[in-house]
Amino acid sequence: VISSQLQEITALKKEGRSYLWGENEFVPYYEYIDQKERLFFSGINDQGVAFLGRKVYEE
C-alpha cells in the first residue's frame, strides 16, 4: 500500500465506510451493480490485502 492509498483508506474509515470481513477491516474501492441488482465489491485493508466478494441486496 502506498502512502496516498493509506491516507484514503484512513479517511474512508473515519467516514464509517469500512466493513469487517472475518477478522479484517476493509474499505471498498470498487463496486458495481449487475443486472440482477447484486452488488459486487472488492476491498482493501491497510496491509494492502484486497479481495473480491459479493453481497446481495436484502429487501
pLDDT at 57: 46
46 contacts 9 by C-beta, under 8 angstroms? yes
Domain ranges of the chain: 3-56
pLDDT confidence of residue 43:
74
Q: How far apart are CA 36 and CA 1, in angstroms?
A: 33
**And the C-alpha cell for 59?**
429487501
Q: In the β-sheet with 50-56, what is the strand arrangement from edge to edge?
A: 19-21, 24-33, 38-44, 50-56
Q: What are 1-59's pLDDT values in tens digits? A: 678 777 877 888 888 877 777 777 777 666 666 676 666 666 777 777 766 555 544 44
Global confidence as pTM: 0.45
pLDDT of res. 8: 79
